[in-house]
Amino acid sequence: KLRAEEAEHPIEKVGKDLRKMFSWSAQSIDSDYVEGSAAR
């Protein structure tokens, strides 16, 4: 429940949009992002 609420937090949506803008990650959009994982 808590993870689902955190995933819907506005900062998570902003972060996802920002990660799309990085040229080095454009070919693999959000592939390094694992839901609920603090380590990247």
Q: Name residues whose C-beta falls within 8 Å of residue 16's C-beta, 6 or more positions apart in sequence.
A: 30, 33
Residue 5, SS3 per DSSP: helix
pLDDT reported for residue 20? 83
Rounded to an integer, what distance in angstroms lies between the CA atom of residue 1 and that of residue 16? 20
Structure tokens at 25: 């990650």
Q: Which of 20, 21, 15 is nearest to 38 (CA)?
A: 15
Q: What is the pLDDT of residues 1-40, one digit of tens each?
A: 788 888 888 888 888 888 888 766 555 555 556 655 555 4
Structure tokens at 10: 């506005």
- φ/ψ of 23, rounded to 5, equals -65, -35
pLDDT reported for residue 7? 81
